């Protein structure tokens, strides 16, 4: 086994956090879809898929390192939101928490002189920077727009993250 027992269980916990993040984004995306905010909904379905992809990257790494994958209990996501701002503030808080978890994995890999895990984690460190910055920006735009100008937020998403398109695994518009 290329990783220590402690590193193996820390990575398994991280797999749980990434799947939990994915479920939280599905909950947020479906809330936005229900409000008629199609661009926001698609953006968050896409984030959900990315978090699942993060979980799978960790799964593949544990397998490659001849460790044991044990997926922990996944916390149920929050599924009702008083406002768009509340849902996005929760997303930013979640990204901050995940960043802290990744940072502590990095510290553990340094303590164990586990250079392979350290190397694998460097991709996640960069990814967290991008996700934190993008979510922080989105929160600022939502705050600027206020509750009455959410259509501006829809336009912002379309401009910066692409127009709605079909996301694998996400429900599409109902066909008649």
Give residues in contact with Fe ion (CB under 5 A): 18, 51, 54, 131
CB 95 → Fe ion: shortest distance, Å?
Answer: 5
When the beta carbons of 129 and 144 are compared against Fe ion, the nearer one is 129
CB 174 → Fe ion: shortest distance, Å?
Answer: 29
When the beta carbons of 114 and 131 are compared against Fe ion, the nearer one is 131
Q: 29-37: which pairs have CB atoms within 8 A and are 24 or more residues apart?
A: 29/170, 30/79, 30/171, 31/79, 31/80, 31/81, 31/87, 32/84, 32/87, 33/171, 35/84, 37/84, 37/150, 37/153, 37/154
In contact, 23 and 82? CB cutoff 8 Å:
no
CB 54 → Fe ion: shortest distance, Å?
Answer: 4
When the beta carbons of 57 and 152 are compared against Fe ion, the nearer one is 57
CB 114 → Fe ion: shortest distance, Å?
Answer: 20
The residue sitting closest to Fe ion, measured at its beta carbon, is: 54
End-to-end CA distance of the chain: 54
């Amino acid at each position: 086994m290329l990783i220590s027992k402690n590193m193996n269980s820390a990575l398994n916990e991280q797999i749980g956090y990434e799947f939990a993040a994915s479920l939280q984004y599905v909950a947020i995306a479906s809330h936005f879809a229900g409000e008629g905010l199609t661009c926001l909904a698609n953006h968050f379905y896409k984030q959900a898929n990315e978090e699942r992809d993060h979980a799978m990257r960790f799964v593949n790494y544990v397998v490659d390192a001849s460790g044991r994958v044990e997926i922990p209990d996944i916390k149920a996501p929050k599924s009702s939101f008083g406002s768009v701002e509340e849902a996005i503030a929760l997303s930013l808080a979640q990204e901050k928490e995940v960043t802290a978890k990744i940072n502590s994995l990095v510290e553990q890999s340094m303590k164990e002189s586990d250079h392979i895990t350290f190397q694998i984690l460097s991709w996640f460190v960069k990814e967290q920077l991008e996700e934190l910055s993008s979510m922080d920006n989105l929160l600022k735009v939502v705050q600027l727009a206020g509750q009455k100008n959410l259509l501006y937020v829809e336009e912002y998403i379309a401009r910066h993250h692409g127009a709605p398109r079909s996301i694998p695994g996400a429900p599409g518009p109902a066909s008649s």
